[in-house]
Amino acid sequence: MKPALDDIATLVGLQLGSGTVEAGDLLVQDLGAVSADIVNIVVALEDKYGIEIDETALADVNTVADLHRLVEELV
């Protein structure tokens, strides 16, 4: 299943209890994600897409679009 940006934005919004989530939203600064939220988002993405996200790959993830790009690379 090819990951759609809208699907990932929806998943992030559900995990964070946020309404509308945009591609350029910063996970921490704009959406208020803390480390436990990031872990929950990663687990949900791994389950949904059957991938494994390495912790070091998350170092470059700041926005929802960055997260989408990472998932696309791993699918």
pLDDT of residue 19: 83
Its pTM stands at 0.91
Q: What is the CATH number of the domain that holds 38?
A: 1.10.1200.10
> Residue 1 pLDDT more than 80?
no
What average pLDDT does the segment 66-71 reach?
Answer: 96
Spatial CA neighbour of 24 closest among 48, 5, 43, 40: 5
Domain range enclosing 60: 5-74
Interval 17-64: pLDDT, tens: 988 899 999 999 999 999 999 999 999 999 999 999 999 999 999 999
Q: Rounded to a whole number, what is the distance in angstroms from the first to the last CA of the chain?
A: 8
Counting the structural domains of the chain, the total is 1
pLDDT of residue 2: 83
